[in-house]
Amino acid sequence: MIGAASTGASFRALGTYLVGDEGRVGWVETRNTLASDPHAVVAEMERDVALSRSRVEKPVYHLALSFDPTDAPTRDELRGAIDRTLRDLGLGDHPALVVAHTDTDHPHVHAMVSRVGADGKAWSTSFSNRRLRASVEAQERELGVRWTGRNADLARTPAAEREPGFAARVRSLSLADLQQTTSWRDLDARLAVHGLRVERRGRGAVVTDGTREAKLSSVSRSVSRPKLEARLGPLRAHEQGREVPAPRPPEKTSASRSLASSRRQPGKALRPSRSALRVGKGVVRSIDLDGGQSGDERLAGAPKTVASRAMRRAGRRAAKRVVSETAKTLTQRTLARRAAHRDLRPGGRIDRLVALVAERVRLGRLTHQRAAVLGVGTREKERAVAEVAGLRDRSERAGQAFTQALGSVYRDPAAAAHAFAQSSVREGVQAATQRLSSSPESFGQLRTSKPRGLAGVLRSSSDDAARAAAPAASRAGAAYLQSNAAYVAGSGPSGAPTGQASDLATAVARRESRIRTRLSGKPGRGTMGRLDARIARAFRQVGSVPGSRSNTTLGPLPNSKVKPIAKTRQAARVGRATSVRLGTVGLGVAATAARSLVRGLGR
């Protein structure tokens, strides 16, 4: 499994590459977008970036995940891999277009992600390649696909070489002696030069210097206990007649100094320390596995086990000192290890913090979208109302012009206008206007006049002037009917916007209703404040040691014998896991919530 990523400046160019050739597109999905069509998604991403407060030069993040042809992942596995990677990078809540291609032998999936989030800020690419590599390596181990990168190097390297420690030291000092020895007695003499010896442990055997142990098989499989016994004879029979040698004294500890002061032999004084170490390792392993009651029970029983073994070998007084210091050291190590386990285990502190931050980002994004949608709806309603008012004014002016034109044709203009309107309903606007122009007498009595002749003599009355004004009246009537029809189509019975003028406003209202439903009620300042307080508490608890009187940071309590490097490694482990799971945006949200809570407490 290979992950590759890059940044760019053009959503349109990358979108054309991803979905431009339909022959190689397997399937297309979207994440956190209003639109579902790829071209509409590209336009939406460009609009969000243009309206955001961010001035990022390269807002496009291109992610590609490729699998080996022998892996043959399903669509659900491809979808899960891209979603998991986006979450690990901190882009799980950003708009994304996911496209699977089928033009190569190896299955692969692309994701075009907008670096600008719901808060208008750009996602930071700092250490993104490191987070991407960590996510891919974790998924390779979980899915069981072909390993690449460091996982492949680890698979090719033996475990003993991968984990340098006491086994590696024994290998460098005494591997040749273990392979070339001719008897157990000869091997004891060779190992004693380096302060080492071989002892039985159950069905196997270990090499020890008195405090540390390494399995013979971890030193090298060529010198495991069965292979040595095949050459040198049974180890049990040799140990029964073995004399206790005087190995090179190990580094003094408080427990070994207490035992050295006892009245027992020096060789036996080292045994309680080794017993305590074995018990402590068992406690830590059990806490790593479940972090729960079994670890607490083993921790509670550890001092008793150490005491019973120490009293048999070192006396009661020395045993009390051994038990006291051993229990203290085990307690501190166990608390630190348990804190890391509670942070990192599934459903632990980090997972709970991730869930709270995701909910906070979701609410913030939806609130921002709802505010934007409401603004668009308000502007559209105002525009529709203004458009309807303009239609009404034009209709009124056309009606006044039509009435004035009819006044020069008919004696009763109101009756003629009513007859013209009825005729337009029955016959149509075009037929009514033609009849008004050619046969105006069909709509009412025409206006007549008696012109004077020569010497002032009155002639007979005539309607020629009315007939000459009829064509102009017909044109005014057609204009009035058209403007009135436009006004009726654009407004309802109460004058409210309807039809095409209100389509966008209706769509905006539906979108706002869906967002309000997803919000489960309008989130007030109290809801967001309580969520910020929960995030701040969870953020402070990550890395804290359970069982202490105060929220100390991850690591041993004061007066502990644990080395500071152990505390540093545990804290670094938790810090890396937190940064990978939350991402840059999530860490920013959690830190902001913690700061806001502190300011609130200060007030």
Q: What's the CATH number where 113 sits?
A: 3.30.930.30
pTM: 0.34
* Statement to judge: residues 489 and 543 lie in one domain: no
Split into its structural domains, the chain has a count of 4
* Statement to judge: residues 211 and 221 lie in one domain: yes
Q: Predicted confidence band at 266 (pLDDT cuts at 50, 70, 90)? A: very low
Average pLDDT over residues 126-148: 88
Q: What one-character-per-residue DSSP string does 102-166 give?
A: -SSSS-EEEEEEESB-TTSPBPP-TTHHHHHHHHHHHHHHHHT----HHHHHHHHS-HHHHS-SH
Which residues, including other chains, have CB under 8 Å from residue 460's CB and lie 6 or more apart?
450
Average pLDDT over residues 125-133: 91
Q: What is the pLDDT of residues 198-231, one digit of tens each?
A: 999 887 899 998 888 888 988 888 888 998 998 8
Residue 390 lies in a domain: yes
* Statement to judge: residues 387 and 437 lie in one domain: yes
Domain boundary among 189, 220, 251: 251
Residue 328 lies in a domain: no
* Statement to judge: residues 506 and 541 lie in one domain: no
* Statement to judge: residues 44 and 182 lie in one domain: no
Residue 297 lies in a domain: no
* Statement to judge: residues 484 and 551 lie in one domain: no
* Statement to judge: residues 547 and 507 lie in one domain: no
Tokens of 47: 């609009």
d(CA 524, CA 234): 77
Among 314-318, 410-414, 461-465, the range with the most confident prediction by mean pLDDT is 410-414
Whether the pLDDT of residue 3 is over 60: the answer is: yes
Note the pLDDT of residue 505: 64
Q: Predicted confidence band at 289 (pLDDT cuts at 50, 70, 90)? A: very low
* Statement to judge: residues 229 and 135 lie in one domain: no
* Statement to judge: residues 527 and 488 lie in one domain: no
Q: Predicted confidence band at 389 (pLDDT cuts at 50, 70, 90)? A: confident
Residue 478 lies in a domain: yes
Domain boundary among 251, 273, 298: 251
d(CA 157, CA 151): 10
Q: What is the pLDDT of residues 543-564, one digit of tens each?
A: 676 544 434 333 333 333 444 4
Residue pair 188/242 in contact (Cβ under 8 Å)? The answer is: yes
Tokens of 156: 């090719």
The percentage of residues in the chain with a pLDDT greater than 90, rounded to a whole number, is 18
Note the pLDDT of residue 288: 47
Note the pLDDT of residue 333: 63
Note the pLDDT of residue 79: 93
Note the pLDDT of residue 603: 39
Residue 209 lies in a domain: yes
d(CA 139, CA 162): 21
Domain boundary among 129, 156, 183: 156
**Of 131 and 578, the one with more pLDDT:** 131
* Statement to judge: residues 560 and 548 lie in one domain: yes
Host domain of residue 83: 2-156
Residue 341 lies in a domain: no
To the nearest 10°, report the CA torsion of 585, 591, 595, 596. Answer: 40
Residue 549 lies in a domain: yes
Note the pLDDT of residue 89: 94
Residue 468 lies in a domain: yes
* Statement to judge: residues 400 and 500 lie in one domain: yes
* Statement to judge: residues 389 and 425 lie in one domain: yes
